[in-house]
Structure 1
Amino acid sequence: MNRQYKARIYVTLRPSVLDPAGVAVESGIGQLGIANVKQVRIGKYIELMLTAADENQASEQLDRICDQLLANPVIENYQFDLDEVQVQLGVST
């Protein structure tokens, strides 16, 4: 029986990669008069639902999706959280 999972995926630039968007945001924060914020990094956050036989299969599918589509493994790292979702069947009256 297949189960449904909710994935939360975080994609960030590798620490060695320059982050121009992060630099721009850090500068903007400084222009707001806030001087205690440093090393701003900008990334991507993705949520998706998937159906799989078990958590291991879901994790393997997510790893493939991230590695081949959502992240550029040359310059980006990714990690994800995976939670099983209880499907509630509707009751009709």
Structure 2
Amino acid sequence: MDPTSRYARQSPLTVTLPDGTVRTMSAPRTVPAPPPGGQVLTAPGARLDLMAAELIGDSTQWWRIADANPFADATRLETPGVAVDLPGG
């Protein structure tokens, strides 16, 4: 697994389905409160991967921006004019 993945430090979870099939998956992840990192306003055409590429330098780190913002629907972060909290560190 990619060490920069948000699931990299999660322990695997093994479950047995009603039909006896055993599945191994990542355990649910608890999202920690991010350290302060600033804030930007989204522009038309904003996308989480594009914001991550510009602000973090890696488009695959889009989830760090999503985690820094407590919206139930992360696509709200792509609406023009929304204040987006940036992940710290």
Same topology, TM > 0.5: no
Q: TM-score, normalised by structure 1?
A: 0.28
Q: Which has the higher contact order (CA 8 A, sep 6+)?
A: 1
Larger radius of gyration: 1
Q: Which has the higher helix share?
A: 1
* More strand per residue: 1
